[in-house]
Amino acid sequence: MAEGKTIVVKIKRQASPTEPARWEEFSVRWRPNMNVIACLIDIAENPVTRYGKPTTPVSYEANCLEEVCGACAVVINGRSRQACSALVDHLDQPIRIEPMSSFPIVRDLVVDRSKMFEDAKRLRCWVPIDGTYDIGPGPRIAPERQQVAYALSRCIFCGNCLEVCPKVNEHSDFVGAALINQVRLFNMHPTGAMHAHERLQAVRGIGGIQECDNAQNCVKACPKGIPLTESNNDVNRQALLDAIFGWMFR
């Protein structure tokens, strides 16, 4: 592609949850190695549509811009993904950008993903420690086990796995793959495992693991390559065993 070229971007706009959505088209100057975020910054500098109509800058979430904070998840050309790592040269044009639809809309591309953090609370996704004073090292962990846990712990709470899940919608409370994976992570930790029952009980509750119908879209949508289906199966098995034999340990 040559300098001087422009890119066409179509963005779904919505001024607030109560206002109707509409599409706007922009034309942005192409530069090498551009990502979708660079397009949005350009639009903020010159908020005029492709047809010369003045408009407002697009609201969007972003922070790290290197796919580790999880903020900038949007749907680009029909695929739910992080905007920072969506490189313009790899996208068909016009580039269609819209907010994720599984979460309540705030404005333009901003949605409210607080449900994920609330679920993390409900599922007790932490290692309960006695306190932050210095009481010596943690448990020893085999390197192989660390490698498995590390892969699970890279979840950035972007919500892409929820966006693509057929079971996540306004009629269900399904917690989704990201949170089930967290249950597996904390149940794996030697201290976390002491409280596995609480998490399994919660994950069997409303919107829990039984809602998963194994469509396996989640694992394909995960930008961090987390083995989400494997986590689902593992937690399912744990939950089943806990339901049958759990009483023996209480």
Partner 1 sequence: MNPTRVILIGGGLAGLMAAIRVAELGHAVDLFSVVPVRRSHSVCAQGGINAAKNLKGEGDSTWQHFDDTVYGGDFLQNQPLVKGMCEAAPGIIDLLDRMGVTFNRTPEGLLDFRRFGGTLYHRTAFAGATTGQQLLYALDEQVRRFEAEGKIRKLEGWMFVSAVLDDAGVCRGVTAVSLRSGEVRAFPADAIIVATGGIGSIFRQSTNSVACTGSAQSALFQQGVNYANAEMIQVHPTAIPGEDKCRLISESVRGEGGRVWVPKTPGDTRDPRAIPDAERFYFLEEWYPKYGNLVPRDVATRAIHKVVFEEGLGIDGKAMVYLDVTHLPREMLTRKLGGVLEIYEKFVGLDPRDHPMKVFPAQHYTMGGVWVDNENQATNVPGIYAAGECEYQYHGANRLGANSLLSCIYGGMLAGPAAVRYAQNLAKGSDTVSSDVYERERKRQEDIYEKLRGQEGSENPITIWKEMGETMTQHVTVIRYNKDLEAADAKLAELQERYKRINLADRARWGNQSLHFTRELGNMLVLARLITQCAALRNESRGAHYKPDFPERDDENWLRTTRAEYDNGSFKIHLDPVDTSLITPRKRSYKS
* Residues 43-72 contacting partner 1, CB under 8 A: 44-47, 54-57, 59-71
Footprint (CB under 8 A) of partner 1, residues 9-28? 15-16
How far apart are alpha carbons 116 and 68 in whole angstroms? 17
Contact 193, 187 (CB under 8 A): yes
Give the binding-site size for partner 1 (rule: CB under 8 A). 71
Q: Which of 7, 84, 177, 179 binds partner 1 (CB under 8 A)?
A: 84
Contact 78, 160 (CB under 8 A): no
In the beta sheet, which residues pair with residue 6?
29
E strands, the chain, in order: 6-13, 22-29, 73-76, 79-82, 95-98, 105-107, 110-111
Decide whether 13 or 96 has the Cβ nearer to partner 1.
13
How far apart are alpha carbons 186 and 160 in whole angstroms? 21
Footprint (CB under 8 A) of partner 1, residues 99-128? 106-108, 110, 113-114, 117, 120-121, 124-128
Q: Which of 2, 3, 4, 33 binds partner 1 (CB under 8 A)?
A: 33
Residue 203 is encoded by which pair of tokens? Answer: 């994950």
Q: Provide the mask over 219-248, with x wherever binding to partner 1 is found by CB under 8 A and - wherever it is not.
A: ------------------------------
The answer to the question of residue 191 lying near partner 1 (CB under 8 A) is yes
Q: Scan for tokens 């509409």, then name that residue.
A: 22
The answer to the question of residue 147 lying near partner 1 (CB under 8 A) is yes
Decide whether 134 or 170 has the Cβ nearer to partner 1.
134
Residue 43 is encoded by which pair of tokens? Answer: 């639009």
Q: Which of 129, 194, 215, 241 binds partner 1 (CB under 8 A)?
A: 129
